[in-house]
Amino acid sequence: MRVSLITFCTLLAIAAAPATVPAAQVTLPHCLVSLIEEVQVPAEEAGVLSGLAVKEGQQVKTEELLAKIDDVQAKMQVRVAGLKLAVAGEKAANDVSIRYSTAAAAVAAAEYQLNVEANQKVPGTVPKTEIRKLLLTWQRAALEIEQAEMTMRIDGLQAKVSEAEVEASQEILDRHSIKSPLDGVVVELYHHAGEWVKPGDPVMHVVRVDRLRVEGFLNASEVAPGEVDGQPVGVRVELARGRVEQFAGRIVFVSPLVQAGGEYQVWAEVENRQEGEHWLLRPGLNAQMTIQSR
């Protein structure tokens, strides 16, 4: 009876232990590899393309120079603005007027006090009209100090205006250099050196290929969005001559919309790999994606 009780307790413990459920996999056999980022890089200023720094098929980095628009006039504007700033800076730093007005006011004050004291000792030594003129001269000199200080403040503000003009002209000059907005590959050139472009004209097409998107569809009646959102994926792609390569990624988007066939779209972002100078995974390829669902 004792043995049976132990056996019974053991069975109860086994039954109560949580079962380990392996993660389920959802396989989408027909997926499409597509781009995450692509840019029709535009010209930002009007002018003649003075040169192209890249060619089709070339890999570029963010902020790498792609092309230049003739910038002779823009450079001259920067130089003129810089000279104006230098002049404004000199005027803003010049306090000669303040120092002269201060000295003149001191002299006028001393002369006025001297004549007032002379009249106090011997009344009538200096006529009252002369005393009034001396007082007016002193007051005018004091006001000239305020005027000089105000002029210096205005010159300081004008220097800031000139500084802003330098920044604005430098910004215009910078827009004559067309730079890449992303890491990618130049896949098409729309203009060549010597051609005229205007603001908004696309100059070249740059695509990002180091990280791509794999899109597929799930059946809404079989898989819930929460089971796959953010989950890791494995992507299988067949390349030339039957070669098969595997790539890893993660689901980053689950569509809130269910289409007419009862399916909803999901896509994963996948890290690409290079072989020599070429990328293995390319937009437009078909792929099989396996999602490690919850």
Q: What is the DSSP letter of 200?
A: T
CA distances from 206 to 52, 73, 191, 267 (A): 14, 29, 14, 22
pTM to 2 decimal places: 0.72
Q: Please report, to the nearest 10 degrees, the dihedral formed by the alpha carbons of residues 169, 170, 173, 174 taken in order.
A: -140
Residues 6 or more apart from 170 whose CB is under 8 A from it? 78
**What is the sign of the dihedral through the CA atoms of 246, 269, 282 and 26?**
positive
C-alpha closest to that of 187 among 37, 281, 59, 280: 59
**What pLDDT is recorded for position 122?**
84
Residue 250 pairs with which residues in a beta bridge? 232, 269
**What pLDDT is recorded for position 3?**
46
Q: What 3-state DSSP class applies to 86? A: helix
Q: What is the mean pLDDT of each run of 10 residues along the chain (294 residues)?
A: 46 42 79 96 96 94 96 95 92 90 92 88 86 90 91 92 95 96 96 95 96 96 94 95 95 95 96 92 96 89
What residues does each domain of the chain span? 22-37+208-293, 45-68+179-202, 73-174
Return d(Cα 284, Cα 214) in angstroms, integer.
10
CA distances from 271 to 35, 200, 246, 280 (A): 12, 32, 11, 11
**What pLDDT is recorded for position 21?**
41
The domain defined by 22-37+208-293 folds into Elongation Factor Tu (Ef-tu); domain 3 (2.40.30)
User: CA 191: distance to chain centroid?
Assistant: 26
**What pLDDT is recorded for position 4?**
52
The continuous run of DSSP H or E covering 170 comes out as helix 128-174
Strands (E), the chain: 24-35, 38-42, 47-52, 59-60, 65-69, 177-179, 184-189, 196-197, 202-207, 211-219, 232-238, 244-254, 263-271, 274-275, 278-279, 286-293
Phi and psi angles of residue 139, each rounded to the nearest 5 degrees, phi first: -65, -40
Return d(Cα 70, Cα 74) in angstroms, integer.
9
Return d(Cα 190, Cα 53) in angstroms, integer.
14
Where does 202-254 have alpha helices with state H?
225-228
Instruction: Tell me how many degrees the CA angle 185-186-187 measures, rounded to the nearest 5.
Output: 105
**What pLDDT is recorded for position 215?**
97
